[in-house]
Amino acid sequence: MSLENRSSYPFSKNHVVDQSAGKKPEPPRVRTRVRIPLKISDGKLAPSEIITFDGLDDGREHLMVVFGDALTQPVPLVRLHSECLTGDVLGSTRCDCGPQLREAMALMHDKGGLLLYLRQEGRDIGLYNKIDAYALQDTGMDTFEANRALNFLDDQRTYSSAAQMLVTMGLKEIEILSNNPEKIRQLEAGGITVHSQRRTAVHLTDANRKYLQAKVMYAGHSIEID
């Protein structure tokens, strides 16, 4: 496979929305709220509200999906989930993204919660670059080594927009559903108090074992693998 002609993902970790010189940016605001029934893993319909925003600092089209009365709970359960077309939509077993998404939706349907669906495909290197990384993993690299070989950081995602979304909705304190300590660090840097962490289940397959092991080794994820 030739990689000479690959294009850089249009939004990098250092992407900044253009602002007029000397003009203080307006704070983010709610753009649209709409109720949509979602089918969750057991086939049930889960009532939800989807909220979009204008003015987030990275300028992307992130979504907040509200289940139950989460917006009025004192410490709602929150899942930050980065977009993964291969896992979320196509059912790839090379990662644990799809199972984590479905786990979160089922749990939040029962208990209430907020799913922040973040447009950061492939740890923010983009879909085509992620597929290039898959090809390199087939040669023996792990997921982080493949990113470096493509001249990307191990993980280019940022969560400042997620913090902005929560603050815009009047939320300052949460319980997080995640195995990733970096999400907690960045949310707290953005003014969110993370009262507690609830780990996701371990969604282990033959195809993703090395991927999960790399997340533990390089990024300190709280995953127990036999």
Q: Cα(205)–Cα(189) distance, rounded to whole angstroms? A: 34
In angstroms, what is the C-alpha Rg of the chain? 18
> Strand pairing of 63-67 and 77-82?
unpaired
Q: Chain centroid to CA 100: how far? A: 11
Query: What would the two tokens of residue 158 be?
Result: 């940022």
Lay out the sheet containing 29-39: strands in order across: 29-39, 45-54, 63-67, 113-118, 77-82, 173-177, 193-198
Amino acid, res. 110: D
The catalytic residue among 88, 157, 185, 198 is 157
Q: Cα(67)–Cα(183) distance, rounded to whole angstroms? A: 21
The catalytic residue among 155, 199, 206, 209 is 155
Q: What is the DSSP letter of 164?
A: H
Catalytic residue at 157?
Answer: yes
Catalytic residue at 60?
Answer: no
Q: Cα(143)–Cα(137) distance, rounded to whole angstroms? A: 6
The residues assigned a catalytic role are 155, 157
